[in-house]
């Protein structure tokens, strides 16, 4: 089955669909540095590096181009004060991202679509944004008489054998209406367990990154022997792994990190830390899951991202492991871009589940 990935990032959502045998026909990514990572890891995909506003109705997409559309349009939220509906949409420029996702769905007419977003989208603007998304995709008139039936739920990455407490909203739109969504969800789990008996096991930080060893200047390390089921699932045939570099922290930051024990954060330092993050200068525990990996996992003040036993933040390879990226996936670009690519991605283990679910629905 053919797929179009909108707002693709480096390709976390694509990875799960590729693993299940789908063909990604096109991917759209606005940032050229992030698109480079997608292109090099997936040379077979037509990656369009452009703003979706320029291409959603430009003729790039045609009816029947894909069976499935996937992607997570950022929802900045929009003011409902005096909101007017114009051309079928709430009239607010910040609304444009999911509006353009909608336009591609309307043009291509896929059998199903998957939209991933922040958990808080249900409550933003008193739930009005979420209502708007549900409204437009099920509006027969706006979709040329072919509306979608929508299903949605908040998914916890931990429940998919991912070692982090990430929660995201998944919205699935389908043309097929003759099925029980909850039943198919459970059936998908059962089927995956036949192929991967440990898929949904609870995974700790140590299970994920415990075999990685010391970082290097160029990020290249000898491929370590996997010792846990999770490591075996992500393992690569390559002789070397990439992206295992550490951030060069200031002496002050290293000193602070040295004084924080497992499970503690900045409150253990008894000094004023300029950070808005409650987990600032937090140290991970080997025996627990990590909090959500964000785009600032290289910064001690950015959250609870200090290595369990070393006085440094996570390396990109460690963060990628915690996100469930396979070991042979290589991230390209500068440090800021790579952190953004990893932090913004959908965990591939979650996307693989969604791919199997969608094939059942279709």
Q: What is the CATH number assigned to the segment(s) 2-198+349-361?
A: 3.40.50.150
Cα–Cα distances in angstroms (integers) from residue 20 to residues 45, 153, 176, 307, 348, in the given order = 16, 22, 20, 33, 11
**Mean pLDDT of each 10-residue bin along the chain, 362 residues long:** 97 98 97 98 97 90 97 65 53 68 95 93 79 90 94 97 96 93 97 98 98 97 98 97 97 96 91 77 97 95 96 98 98 97 97 98 94
For residues 68 and 357, the answer to whether their CB atoms sit within 8 Å is no
Residue-level pLDDT at 223: 97
> What is the rounded CA–CA span in Å between residue 111 and residue 359?
10
Report pLDDT for 75: 62
Rounded to whole angstroms, the Cα distance separating 219 from 216 reads 5
According to DSSP, residue 213 is labeled -
Is beta strand 112-118 parallel, antiparallel or unpaired with respect to 68-71? Answer: parallel
Mapped onto helix, strand or coil, the DSSP state of residue 112 is: strand
**Residue 276: predicted pLDDT:** 65
- Residue 149 CA to residue 134 CA, distance in Å, equals 9
Angle of CA points 128, 340, 97, to nearest 5°: 30
How confident is the model at residue 85, as a pLDDT? 56
If DSSP codes are grouped into helix, strand and coil, which group holds residue 133? helix
Q: What is the pLDDT of residue 91?
A: 55
Which residues are the active-site residues? 75
Domain range annotation of the chain: 2-198+349-361
């Amino acid at each position: 089955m053919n797929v179009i990935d909108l707002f693709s990032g480096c390709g976390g959502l694509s990875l799960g669909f590729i693993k299940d045998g789908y063909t990604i026909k096109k991917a759209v990514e606005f940032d050229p540095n992030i698109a480079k990572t997608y292109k090099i890891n997936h040379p077979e995909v037509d990656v369009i590096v452009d703003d979706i506003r320029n291409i959603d109705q430009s003729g790039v997409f045609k009816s029947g181009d894909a069976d499935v559309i996937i992607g997570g349009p950022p929802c900045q939220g929009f003011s409902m004060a005096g909101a007017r509906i114009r051309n079928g949409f709430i009239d607010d420029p910040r609304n444009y991202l999911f509006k353009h996702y909608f336009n591609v769905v309307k043009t291509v007419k896929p059998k199903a679509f998957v939209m991933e977003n922040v958990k808080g989208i249900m409550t933003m603007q008193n739930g009005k944004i979420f209502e708007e998304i549900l409204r437009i995709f099920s509006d027969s008139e706006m979709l040329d008489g072919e509306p979608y039936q929508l299903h949605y739920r908040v998914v916890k990455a931990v429940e998919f054998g991912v070692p982090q407490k990430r929660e995201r909203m998944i919205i699935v739109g389908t043309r097929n209406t003759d099925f029980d969504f909850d039943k198919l969800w459970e059936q998908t789990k059962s089927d995956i367990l036949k192929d991967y008996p440990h898929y949904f096991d609870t995974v700790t930080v140590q299970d994920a990154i415990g075999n990685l060893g010391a970082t290097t200047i160029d990020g290249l390390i000898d491929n370590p022997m996997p010792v846990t089921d999770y490591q075996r699932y992500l393992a690569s045939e390559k002789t070397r792994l990439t992206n295992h570099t550490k951030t060069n922290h200031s002496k002050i930051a290293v000193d602070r990190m040295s004084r924080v024990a497992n499970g503690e954060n900045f409150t253990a330092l008894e000094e004023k830390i300029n950070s808005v993050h409650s987990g600032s200068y937090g140290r991970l525990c080997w025996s627990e899951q990590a909090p959500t990996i964000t785009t600032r996992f290289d910064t001690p003040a950015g959250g609870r991202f200090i290595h369990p036993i070393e006085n440094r933040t996570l390396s990109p390879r460690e963060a990628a492991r915690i996100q469930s990226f396979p070991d042979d996936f290589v991230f390209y670009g500068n440090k800021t871009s790579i952190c953004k690519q990893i932090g913004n991605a959908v965990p591939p283990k979650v996307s693989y589940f969604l791919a199997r679910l969608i094939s059942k629905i279709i």
